[in-house]
Amino acid sequence: MSSQRKNGHRRIRLWKPKRTSPGAAPGMITPAEDAMVPRILVTTYDSVFIQELSFTDLQALMVHLDQHPNRINWVELQGFGDRRLLEQFCAAFGIHRLEMEDVINNYQRPKLEDYDDHLFVVTRLLRKNGDDQIRNDQFALFLKQNLVITFQETYDENFDPVRVRLRSGKGHLRSSYADYLTYALLDCAVDHYFPLLEIYGEKLDSLEDELFGKPNRDCLHRIQSLKRELILVRRTVFAERDKVNDMLRTASDLIGDQTKIYLRDTYDHTIQVMDLVESYKEIIASLMEIYLSSVSFRLNQVMKVLAIISTIFIPLTFIVGVYGMNFSSTDPSTGAFLPMNMPELYSPYGYTGVMVFMLVLVIVQLLIFWRKGWLDKS
């Protein structure tokens, strides 16, 4: 999701270019070359029963599903490295080839597609790695009667909290329908925004402190990186909000009224995230302004010191220059005394007088600067 820059900063990528060239046929199911070997996990449950299995063969999976027609089945496909398997999935579960293309073409916007017999939901999972790298995973979900199929590119256990809740049997999860499982998974994805925003909030605060304290060029780098990340987060959460809203308004029977109450909660969360992202965007804009003002401010500081030093010493240097002139008190040819030529040089207190005069000048100048506020710190 990011590329290394020369100066050690990383830059996130705002998207991943499509692998297909313009004009290619739609619905091409061509996994990436470095796609992971797929694995299939199945959780079959109802309020009194739970079984977790792992399959490598689609046929065995179908047999298993047939055995539990009245239980909820959560089928997870992780890794897209087997094109034949993906096509079998299409055939077995009635997935449109365009949908499967979206599943493996790993940079869709969050969206809901609403079909007669199933819902197709694309979700993005944004979160931070341990090394402060943003991860931007895609998670696709098919909701059918009693069946939830989820697709993930990697084996990441993003949804372990949901799995734990399923196993524990507490709460509504086990006693609800497949739509509630869908809600639980989406809610988990939206919940990941909050720790992310907390990180951004802290970064913005420490940047602000630094900008008011000792700003440096690296701050600008970090402002720009934060801006880029917030552009990505903002774009994603807007689409996410629209998606959840679509789910709330769908006429499909697949999502029950009871679950819609919970989805409304998720919707509230997306609104909260959007509010915060917008606020952060405004704050980042003003951090940029503060940075620019800091650059100007430091220039002012430097110029003030230069101006004070110059303004004090340039006149003094002129004065000592005057008494460094070689006007002669005697005419070299006639030897006549020239009384107008710098008599100060021969006065007993000439030197002392000049030094005292210069001292007074410096004091007067400092007083002027002090009154003009040039000697203040800010």
Site for its own copies, residues 47 to 106, rule: CB under 8 A: 96, 98, 102
Query: Would you say 147 or 239 has its CB closer to its own copies?
Result: 239
Contacts of 114 (CB under 8 A, 6+ apart): 246, 250, 252
Stretch that binds its own copies, among 57-65, 74-82, 139-147, 192-200 (CB under 8 A): 192-200
Q: What is the residue type of 131?
A: D
Query: Would you say 34 or 213 has its CB closer to its own copies?
Result: 213
Query: Using CB under 8 A, which of 10, 111, 128, 167 touches its own copies?
Result: 111
Stretch that binds its own copies, among 8-16, 41-49, 69-77, 141-149 (CB under 8 A): 8-16
Site string for its own copies, 141-180 (x = CB under 8 A): ------------------xxxx--x----xxxx-------
What is the nearest approach in angstroms of its own copies to the Cβ of residue 145?
21
What is the nearest approach in angstroms of its own copies to the Cβ of residue 38?
24
| Interface positions, 309-328, toward its own copies (CB under 8 A) | 309-311, 313-318, 320-328
Three-class secondary structure of residue 65 per DSSP: helix
Contacts of 315 (CB under 8 A, 6+ apart): 361
**Size of site (CB under 8 A) for its own copies:** 138
Query: Using CB under 8 A, which of 81, 169, 201, 256 touches its own copies?
Result: 201
What is the nearest approach in angstroms of its own copies to the Cβ of residue 318?
5
Name the phi and psi angles at 374, rounded to 5.
-70, -20
CA dihedral (194, 195, 198, 203) in degrees, to 10, reads: -130
Query: Would you say 299 or 363 has its CB closer to its own copies?
Result: 299
β-sheet bridge partners, residue 44? 51, 73
What is the nearest approach in angstroms of its own copies to the Cβ of residue 256?
15
- The number of C-alpha atoms within 13 Å of 305 and in the hemisphere containing its C-beta is 7
- The number of C-alpha atoms within 13 Å of 222 and in the hemisphere containing its C-beta is 18
Sign of CA pseudo-dihedral 223, 229, 235, 241: negative
Q: Is residue 122 a contact partner of residue 140, using CB atoms and an 8 Å limit?
A: yes
Under rule CB under 8 A, residue 117 binds its own copies: no
Site string for its own copies, 220-239 (x = CB under 8 A): xx--x--xx--xx--x---x
Query: Using CB under 8 A, which of 1, 50, 342, 366 touches its own copies?
Result: 342
Cα 231 to Cα 243: distance, rounded to the nearest angstrom: 18
Site string for its own copies, 277-316 (x = CB under 8 A): -xx--xx--x-xxxxxx-xxxxxx-xxxxxx-xxx-xxxx
Q: What distances in angstroms separate CA 356 from CA 226, 349, 361, one per listed residue?
A: 59, 10, 9
Q: Is residue 350 a contact partner of residue 322, using CB atoms and an 8 Å limit?
A: no
